[in-house]
Amino acid sequence: MPGSEPAAHCYCGHQFGQFAGQLGDGAACYLGEVRVPPGQDPELLRENPSGRWEIQLKGAGLTPYSRQADGRKVLRSSIREFLCSEAMFFLGIPTTRAGSVVTSDSRVIRDIYYSGHPRHERCSVVVRIAPTFLRFGSFEIFKQADEFTGRQGPSYGRDEIRGQMMDYVIEMFYPEIQENFPDRVERNVAFFREVMRRTARLVAQWQCVGFCHGVLNTDNMSILGLTLDYGPYGFMDRFDPDFTCNASDNSSRYSYQAQPAICRWNLVKLAEALAPELPPDRAEIVMDEYLDLFNGFYLENMRKKLGLLKKEEPEDEILITELLQAMHNTGADFTNAFRCLSQISCPAEGEGEGEEELVKKATELLLEQCASLEELKAANKPTMDPRELAMLLSMAQSNPALFQMISDRMTIARQLDKLSRLKDLMETSQEELKTRQAEEWTRWIARYRKRLAHELDAQSDVQAVQQERVRVMDSTNPRVVLRNYIAQNAIEAAENGDFSEVQRVLKVLEKPFSSQPGLELPAWAGGARSPIPYDSKPPAWAHEICVT
């Protein structure tokens, strides 16, 4: 653009737990900022009080940090980023945005599955928008030599630049902290505490919609607490705490259940990068607050998802844990099962004999979301060859040092757990499984309705309480999320020149909570009464699409 000076951002990062040294935007190009004048667009200013929006092109060509790559992005990865960043926004989760995808007839060669069979793919450019794309790794350019890898940041020793970067970020994006803390050290501590708080809130929101980022390296963590960089992400279908959407993450470091702990680990690395501007002892005190903050945000969201609005009771955590365990044991669809819960009514006074029938109907509703015997067998098939597993188990006993070098106990434990579940399933019939699933859901629903009864204590208008509960639950539990096979179907249509499916998916994602008759949801959109059939999905690799 006339007068512009496009630039690429230099940053470092810890990737899969190891400091990788200098990285930088290998395919993203910063064009400049657009400023929204005060009062012009109140909604935009609420979303971003600074009024400044960075504009990036991703996939437009070479940058100084492209290394051996070509700086281009293909249609496949561009549509995935475009759709998911918009899906997250309409789910109410902080995120960078995608303004558009522009596709050309230019082609590059990509080996999609790293199988030795590359093919030509169409090039695309995503216009990305955010208040800033600065990330934890932006401050790691000042890191001293790493004790494990020996690498150091390219700006090690340039402490004055780090001070300038902190001044810029705090003055521009945390102005209330700049105003309220005249002492520099106290200001920096308050800044780090706010970054920690936003990160804890963000990962709690991810957990509550079943979103798995896939590559939570420090260079993919936003300094503003936004969802940043959409690579091999995935929304869970059936609930699995070990759900890992990145095919190259062999140790499941970035699994669904690991995300809260990984985000904490990344915050510790950010604190190290900010020292001595941020005194380490003060950073440690802040980090001691992380777990309680995360748990608070998570419980707040989960209580809304369960419609527990009037009271906060100690057993709520147990009720939530038992719900997720029931989902895991029965292979229930995460999104659809939560959406079903608003159809379970609060116990009414004098319900008496009808209660058993109500529990039975609620159980039948949730049983529709459960996996079949064959689906559970497939889900619990170990990913490791049995001979390799036997060898590693033997090695763990005979040569622990060598075992530690080539494997880890958590990975082996997960494989053994899958084997145990699979053995049990092999000895179970479909009828026995259905009976077990029904018993498990019946027990949980009875506990849930007992807890709902407490919501009615001292409430004069029971119907109003129930209506409010349903309203909050249906505006918290999405009816649709961007399932991987839906994105894949849209991508395949676009690769054949038909972009209408991308537009159709986007239209549905813009109203994720809607159950209004006026919104025409395609059959694939799912919902509480129309579960996504597992057998309609493409092969397993569709859950593991990696961005080249």
Residue 521: what pLDDT? 45
237 and 534 Cβ atoms separated by less than 8 Å: yes
| CA neighbor of 219 nearest in space, from 486, 494, 12 | 12
CA distance 362 to 341: 8
CA-based radius of gyration for the chain: 25
Mean pLDDT value of segment 368-393: 89
CA distance 195 to 135: 11
**Sequence-distant (≥ 6) Cβ neighbours of residue 308 within 8 angstroms:** 316, 451, 452, 455
Q: Given a cut of 70, is residue 355 above it in pLDDT?
A: yes
502 and 509 Cβ atoms separated by less than 8 Å: no
Cβ-based burial of 400 (10 A; exposed 0-12, middle 13-18, buried ≥19): exposed
Residue 390: what pLDDT? 85
CA distance 232 to 458: 49
CA distance 339 to 357: 21
316-330 helix and 430-455 helix, angle to the nearest 10 degrees: 160
How distant is the alpha carbon of residue 71 from its chain centre?
Answer: 26
Q: How far apart are the first and last CA of the chain?
A: 28
Cβ-based burial of 455 (10 A; exposed 0-12, middle 13-18, buried ≥19): buried
- Among 160-174, 213-227, 413-427, 477-491, whose mean pLDDT is lowest? 413-427
CA distance 253 to 214: 9
- Compute CA distances 182 → 12, 187, 223, whole Å: 30, 7, 21
pLDDT band at 518 (very low <50, low <70, confident <90, very high): very low
Residue 236 carries which DSSP code?
Answer: -
Mean pLDDT value of segment 381-403: 84
Residue 109: what pLDDT? 94
Looking at the chain, the whole-number percentage of residues with pLDDT higher than 90 is 74
Mean pLDDT value of segment 435-463: 92
Q: Tokens at residue 94, please?
A: 């902080």
Residue 544: what pLDDT? 32
Residue 411: what pLDDT? 82
Q: Tokens at residue 293, please?
A: 């903050």
CA distance 83 to 95: 12
CA distance 171 to 318: 43
Residue 352: what pLDDT? 59
Q: Tokens at residue 453, please?
A: 């009864």
What's at 403, amino acid-wise? F
257 or 514, which is more confident: 257
- Among 206-220, 384-398, 489-503, 525-539, whose mean pLDDT is lowest? 525-539
CA distance 371 to 528: 15
Longest dimension (CA), the chain: 77
pLDDT band at 536 (very low <50, low <70, confident <90, very high): very low
CA distance 82 to 440: 39
CA distance 548 to 545: 9
- Among 48-57, 86-95, 135-144, 430-439, whose mean pLDDT is lowest? 48-57
- Mean of per-residue pLDDT scores for the chain: 89
Q: Which tens digit of pLDDT belongs to each residue from 39-71?
A: 777 777 777 888 899 999 999 999 999 999 999
Residue 41: what pLDDT? 77
261 and 219 Cβ atoms separated by less than 8 Å: no
Partner residues linked to 128 by β-bridges: 56, 98
pLDDT band at 78 (very low <50, low <70, confident <90, very high): very high
Q: Given a cut of 60, is residue 542 above it in pLDDT?
A: no
Cβ-based burial of 323 (10 A; exposed 0-12, middle 13-18, buried ≥19): buried
pLDDT band at 410 (very low <50, low <70, confident <90, very high): confident
Partner residues linked to 57 by β-bridges: 29, 127
pLDDT band at 344 (very low <50, low <70, confident <90, very high): very high
Q: Which tens digit of pLDDT belongs to each residue from 243-262?
A: 999 988 888 999 999 999 99
**Sequence-distant (≥ 6) Cβ neighbours of residue 346 within 8 angstroms:** 449, 452, 453, 455, 456, 462, 465, 466, 469
CA distance 494 to 506: 13
Looking at the chain, the whole-number percentage of residues with pLDDT higher than 70 is 93
* Sign of the dihedral through C-alpha 279, 285, 291, 295: negative
In three-state secondary structure terms, 546 is coil
Catalytic residues: 219
